[in-house]
Structures are given as structure tokens and as C-alpha cells.
Amino acid sequence: MVHEGLDLDVMPGEILGVVGGSGTGKSVLMRSILGLRTPDAGEIEVLGVDARQGDPTSRRHIERNTGVLFQDGALFSSLTVGENVEVPLREYHRDLPDSLRREIALLKVKLAGLSADSIDKLPSQLSGGMRKRAGLARAIALDPPLLFLDEPTAGLDPIGAAAFDHLIRTLQQALGLTVFLITHDLDTLYAICDRVAVLADRKVIVAAPIAEVEQFDHEWVREYFHGPRARAAQTGRERNQESR
């Protein structure tokens, strides 16, 4: 059993960072919320519907109103960036003219921080950071209110990761998104997350602003939030706040 007695609320308009050791079920939790995995028991309410029902209407409601960025983008390798972004548009807006669908795809590509000419490139022609941005463009193609990000800065250099963090916060504020963000990146937690939920002992042991999470009395929390990397991340946040 991966989870037992897990309880978590995601607040509208927040960026919630989800952390935990390897094997604690962060991705399992995300898939359960999305209805891609059915828990043995319990309740999961997503945007007013029960994700455990599995009926076509509920399934479609969740798919239509959520966007997901998987690790490394998870793009279709045989499709261009633009065609990848158009996939959800073709599924949910079949009556759109091809020209309008391409215009929407181009807008999303630009919102994700890619140049206009990226729309005609294949994923193999992009860097790792560009593939993540292309995946993000596809995730926001339908203007979903709820966005899921699975390790969005994994594999990026510090400058690229910081730029991606800034992009997420900018999009969240501009589009009014609620963001469920799985990460191991302490810099991301300190830079953009409104609250942090910690998975341990098969449940969420704490979900609160990071200053409160730091003080939570648990072995994993102490090791994660009070080690040298955490102190460096906290120092970086304080410097950024002073420079504003």
C-alpha cells in the first residue's frame, strides 16, 4: 500500500509544491487525482467531480480542465512542436479551422517562452529545457484552471531552472492557474511555492507555507530542509527578496 489515510486540499490559485522521499508515491498521487489510477478506497474530488467514478462524463471533465507537464515533456516524437500543442485542441475543439488551431498553438508556444520558429521543429531538434517548455505549451493549450507539473526543473542547469521557475509563476499569475507541482528542487520550493505538502509515512504529514514546514518535527523534514542545500536555497530567496 503506497498511501493510507492521505488527506490533502489544493487551494484555488496557489502553487502547491509536493515533496517526499523516493517511493513515497508523489507521482501515484498525481495520477490518482487525474483519474489515471483508481485508489482502493477514499474520495478524490477534482473541480467538482469524483475522480474515482471513471464514467465518461467525469473523465472528460477532468481531462478538459487539467493540463499536465510530464518529465522531459513527453512529446510525440514524430510530431512538430505545433502539432503536439494542437493534439488537445483537435480532441476537444474538432470544429476549429486548421488556421485558427495553428494560431492558438503559436500563442501557447510563445507563452511558454519559445520562439515562433520552434513551432515547426521536432522534439529531437530541441534542448531539454526547450522540450519542457513545449510540453508546458501543450499543457496550457486548453486554458485549464488546474495545472500538474512533474519535476519540471529536473535535468536543467541552475540558470535554466530559475528561468523555468519564473515562467511558471508568471503564467500562474497571468492565467489564474492552480498548480500542483511535484519537485525535488529546493530552489523551486523557496522561489515560487505558496505552500509545500510533504509525503512521508504513506500520507501527507504537513501542508503549509514553507516557513512552517521547516519547523515541522519529522526526521525527513529535518534532513531535507535543514541540510546545506536547503540553507543555500533559503539564502538565495532572501537575496532575491532584498533586491526587489
At residue 37, the 3 state secondary structure works out as coil
- Report DSSP state, residue 210: H
Q: Terminal CA-to-CA distance of the chain, rounded, Å?
A: 46
> What pLDDT shows up at residue 59?
86
pLDDT value, residue 52? 82
Is residue 47 scored above 70 in pLDDT?
yes
Whole-structure pTM value: 0.90
Residue 162's closest CA among 182, 195, 186?
Answer: 186
Question: What confidence tens digit (pLDDT) does each residue in 117-176 have?
Answer: 999 999 999 999 999 999 999 999 999 999 999 999 999 999 999 999 999 999 999 999
pLDDT tens for residues 65-111?
A: 999 998 777 899 999 999 999 999 999 888 899 999 999 999 999 99
Per-residue confidence (pLDDT) for residue 144, from 0 to 100: 96
Query: How far is it, in rounded angstroms, from Cα 52 to Cα 42?
Result: 9
For the chain, which domains are there?
A: 15-71+146-242 (3.40.50.300)
Mapped onto helix, strand or coil, the DSSP state of residue 70 is: coil
List the beta bridge partners of residue 147.
67, 179
